[in-house]
Structures are given as C-alpha cells and as structure tokens.
Amino acid sequence: MCFELLGGRLLAPYFGSSVYVWGSIITIFMLALSIGYLAGGRYSMLKPNLYKYGGIFILSALSLMPTIFFSESIMQWVFDRIEDPRYGSLTASLFLFLIPTAIMGMIAPYSVRLLTQSKDSAGQTAGYLYFISTLGSAIGTIITSFYLVLWLEIDQIFWFVFGIMFVAGVLANVVAIKEKNEINE
C-alpha cells in the first residue's frame, strides 16, 4: 500500500492526478497481486523452505531498483508515445509497478505454506496471515500518507521500503541457517 500511494505521487507530474491515474495504478496493482498470488502458490509446491522465502523478499527489494533509478526516463518515454493520459498512466504503471508488486504478492501464499501445520489449522493460518497483511497495509498507508511524505523525498521512501524488504529477507535466511544448525546438532 505504501508502494501504491507513492505510485500516485510518482505519476502525477506526467499524467496528472485525475481519477484515471488512480484507476490505472489500482488496476496494475490488482493485476500484479493476482499474478503474484498464483506464482507464489505454485512456487510453494517446489520444496518450500525459509531460504527461498527470504529470497522472495530480497528479490522484491531488488525489483524496486528500476523504479527508483529509471522512473523519470520510463515515464518520459511513455509520455512521448502515448497521448491519451489514461493509457499513458496505465502503461507507465505497468512498467513501473507490475514486477515488484507481483513478487511482493508471492509472499502471502508462500507464507501460508510455511506456516500451515495441518489441514485442520489451515483456515486459521490463512486468516491470521490475512489479518497481518491487511493490518500491515493499513499501517503502511497511514504512515506513508500522513508522515513519510512529510519527512522524506519519494526516492528516500522507496529506499526505506527496499531496506525493510531486504532486511526481512536476510532475517529469514539467518533464521533458516540457525534452524538448520540446531537440527544438525
């Protein structure tokens, strides 16, 4: 959600703040998440473990790089080619947000797989994860829109998100190594 809000700010200089700009952003985020959920679910079938889980976090952090470094030139490129601001903002959102959001979307189903102990508790696990991720979205939204935009530049907030994802990925790996060591002992 933090990322989505920033998306609106990022696009405004090129495509304005009309309703259709928000429409484009939400469309692409929903599309990306649906792809991410599907891919995350598939990926969880292939010998799921914490290393791979951490890998998704690190990958999603890295996938923010093009948005951080090349958003200006990508938007300029789209602006020069597509006159209609609806399809312009949709195309720009596609290039800027689809991949990182899709990778972030993989995290939820993968978490379900890792946390599920038995068939009986699967519903509870999924419910708990929905709780955490939706609450996280709410907190991300309020912190970004109320405070972060007041304190930081957009790129700095992107780096902040990058940092959180990266650290989470590294932590998952650290935990995975520890567990492995414990089993070996």
Partner 1 sequence: MNKYLIFAALISTSCFSLLNAKELHRERSLYRNVIVTETKDIRCMRFETRRKKVSNQACINLKKPNQLVFEYAQSVLAGLTYNPSPKNILIIGLGGGVLPQTFEKILPDAVMTSVEIDPAVVSIAKEYFNYTENTRIKTSTQDGRVFVKRALRKKQRYDWIILDAFNGDYIPEHLLTIEFLQEVKNLLSDGGILSANTFSSSELYDYESVTYQAVFNQLQIIKSPTKGNRVIFACNCSDFHKIPESSGKLASQLKKYNVDLPDLIARISTEIDWDESVKPLTDQHSPANLLKR
Contacting positions for partner 1 (CB under 8 A): 9, 12-19, 79-80, 83, 85, 146, 149-150, 152-155
Nearest-approach distance from CB 153 to partner 1, in angstroms: 4
Closer residue to partner 1 (CB): 17 or 124: 17
Closer residue to partner 1 (CB): 18 or 34: 18
Nearest-approach distance from CB 102 to partner 1, in angstroms: 26
Nearest-approach distance from CB 179 to partner 1, in angstroms: 42
Closer residue to partner 1 (CB): 126 or 154: 154
Closer residue to partner 1 (CB): 44 or 71: 71
CA 16, CA 39: separation in Å to the nearest integer? 33
Nearest-approach distance from CB 91 to partner 1, in angstroms: 14
Spell out the residues 6+ positions from residue 160 whose beta carbon is closer than 8 angstroms to its own: 148, 152
Nearest-approach distance from CB 104 to partner 1, in angstroms: 23
CA 29, CA 67: separation in Å to the nearest integer? 14
Closer residue to partner 1 (CB): 80 or 182: 80
